[in-house]
Amino acid sequence: MCFGSVEAGVTATATKTLEATLAPPTAHKEQRLQRTVATYRRALSESFESGADTQTAVNDVVTGYNLTSYAKDALKNYVPQLRDTYNASELDDDHPVRFTNRGWNIDHSEERTHEFCWRVPQAGRGNAFWIPLRIDPTQRELWDDLLDGDVTVGEFRLQEHRTNWVLHVTVKYELAEPEKPDDPTPVGFDIGESKLLTGCALTENDTPTQPFIFDGGRARHLRKEMHTTLQRLQERDASEWRVDERFDHYQNALTDIVEKASRQAVEYARQFENPVIVLEDLSYIREHLDYGKWMNRRLHNWAFARLTGRIEDKALEAGIPVRFVNPAYTSQTCHECGHLGSRSSQAAFRCTNDGCWVTEYQADINAAANIAGRLNPWGESLSLKPTGDDSPRDGSACDSTTGHRTPSPKPGQTTLAAFQS
């Protein structure tokens, strides 16, 4: 794999999940898979309901179950996290079977129809069995690295769907982490509703240059359609598998959009000299959509985190440094003078400072420019507090004082009309 030109010795660990579909099993193997899932879920349920919150307590519960030690060890790691980390009060019915990496075993041969075969862990000596895998061809390079030992296997999970079985394998590998150059070109990205993803580079004199927009109209349509569809299913008291099936359908469609948007974002950044990608720190993100609590929790949070994570992953592989900044006020303040502006529409930003050359500006580009502008030479976040008003409109706190940039020469106006969809 090619990871870009970087300073030797500085590395970062990247994590990805490989996905493969099991080839249709024989009736006997299907029964064994079903039995493994049922036994695992009973052990998980009993451990959770017993209140076990340590590995020792979980071990006391699962010892008597007819499960491989790899599944029991995964339960001992996972169950204590359910309440301590995830604050879970109840279990879903469709938990995958988790195995620790000690049980991982695959075989490969180019002479087979399905080149990869997975050895399914089973309790008891000699009971494990092999089953062919249909890998995702876009992940072929990582599967080959897995065979060569260039990546490390973490936990792997077996999930039953209505028509097939799916295997997810978490892998980790070392990448050379790019150093931020002495004379960087900050490239900020804003994830929003008017446009799914907007990028803006600040070149000489902090001038916004060649903005990038990924419209994401399909993503907006999917979110709204999903909300309507799932709400209708819930009102009709549809079966849980039917609801989950529709959710998976929309999530898979959004995954494709995320992959395309993140790839184009990194390609955009690479055109500039010494690019540094600047993203919003997720710990500061608040909900802005009004599609309901269920929708926000299961979809918007996922989509935002996934898009940010995929940009970071692809940038790391391309040798482009990534930095995170506090996004407070980026959509409310003028990128040129720092004053609070007004939004006549979701897509339009207008600066209220009479002394500023900025009049009407594309709102997402303005936000992306603000995000890029918070990368200073020390890699820290620049000013968060806008000039002219010290109370954010969403009622959140502000934790930094204002720092002023030297006004740049007046560039060409990036108007809303130029980016109307």
Sign of CA dihedral 187, 189, 194, 196: positive
pLDDT in tens, 117-162: 999 999 999 999 999 999 988 889 889 999 998 899 999 999 987 7
Q: Is the torsion defined by CA of 86, 87, 91, 97 positive or negative?
A: positive
Phi, psi of 26 (to 5 degrees): -65, 165
Q: Are 374 and 278 in contact (CB under 8 A)?
A: yes
pLDDT of 400 reads 27
Q: Which amino acid is residue 273, in one-letter code?
A: E
Say how far residue 281 (Cα) sits from the centre of its chain. 13
Confidence of residue 419 (pLDDT cuts 50, 70, 90): very low
pLDDT at 29: 96
Are 341 and 365 in contact by the 8 Å Cβ rule? The answer is: no
What confidence score (pLDDT) does residue 178 get?
Answer: 67
Residue 384 has pLDDT above 80, yes or no: no
Q: What would the pLDDT profile of 181-223 be if each residue is shown by its tens digit?
A: 778 899 999 987 668 899 999 987 778 888 999 987 777 777 7
Long-range contacts of 213-220 (CB under 8 A, 24+ apart): 213/364, 213/365, 213/419, 214/260, 214/261, 214/264, 214/265, 215/421, 216/257, 216/261, 217/421, 218/253, 218/257, 219/254, 219/257, 219/303, 220/193, 220/196
Tell me the per-residue pLDDT of 22-39, one tens digit each, with 9 for 90 and over: 999 999 999 999 999 999
pLDDT confidence bin for 378, thresholds 50/70/90 = very low
Radius of gyration of the chain (CA): 25
Sheet strand arrangement including 348-351 = 341-345, 348-351, 360-362
- Residue 16 dihedral angles phi and psi, to the nearest 5°: -140, 160
Query: Confidence class of residue 398 from pLDDT cuts 50, 70 and 90?
Result: very low
pTM value surpassing 0.85 = no
Which one is predicted more confidently, 91 or 108? 108
- Containing 343, the helix (H) or strand (E) segment is strand 341-345
| Proportion of the chain above pLDDT 70, given as a percent | 73
